[in-house]
Structure 1
Amino acid sequence: MHGVLGVMTALVMTAAPGEEGAAGGTSRSASSSWGRTFLGVAVPLAPGGFALEGEQEWDEGFTATLGLRVSEPSSPRLGLEPGARFYVKGSALEGMWFGPRLELARTWRDVRGRSWDMGGALLAGYSVCLRQGFTVQGALGVGATYRPPLAGFNSWTVTVGHRAQLSVGWSF
């Protein structure tokens, strides 16, 4: 739990304070190199845990993301998911986007030990910033996960599947 708080604190500390815009929204100043930040909780639309997510605006159409995923479908799993988003309609943190995401996870299996799983996904989604920074994001996509051989098994596996999640949090 302390590691999760550390990651989220680091994301908050890297965000520069924005100026309040005339329409009540947040915009960054011309002298600031950082934009707005989103912090929230992402829940996959299929069983499999949840993620704490952060998204940092780098310019009007590009953001960097970082997720810390925890799940326990049949065995505990802890993962790190860095990625990028390119906003094709609207501005960063408010509009339609697409982007790649790297997926790294440590899985503990009952009898077979533990493994590092690696993979990636390509997602498309939409972000909506509502009142006072409350933000809702939805994403759909496809991804692949590579799992190395486990004790007693000789082959590695690649699993291709869908990705879908709903995130809620705050932008500031």
Structure 2
Amino acid sequence: MSDHNIKCEDRNSIVINFSEIYKLINRINKKFEKLQRRIIQKENLTTAQYSILQQLWKNDSVQFKTLADACCCSQSTITGIVDTMEKKDIVVRKMNPEDRRSVLVILTDKGKKLEKETPNINTILDDCCSGFEPNDIEDLTKLLKKLDSSFKVTESDSC
């Protein structure tokens, strides 16, 4: 059904449903962040630093742009976070040998060691989601990605 065929009362219902969905996503996000903070505070890390580490634990070196996209923030924000992580000797910056215009963020030995010392948040999340069937999580992920994509389109539209 296209937007043009939706009746006014249907649009109001959709807005109310999206409002409820937003509240639920926001509440889940706050609970997740609280859990994440509790886990990483022992290592004196922020949630932003932990998010960067999660990306670097998958690949030892990552471009700033890739980190910014993965962490849903600007490259300048990533720069500030990486500055702090460099001071803690968790990461270093190196010129990208494949593209001299870009800089890579690379894990140090201390950063690699943190992966072993920090409880795996995914294991804890698995426990939280133990009541779900795998296909439930897959379906939810597909729906949330679809919702996310629709907002990207809306952002570029002029009202």
Query: How would you bin the TM-score normalised by the shorter chain?
Result: under 0.3
Higher-strand-fraction structure? 1
Structure with a larger share of its residues in helix: 2
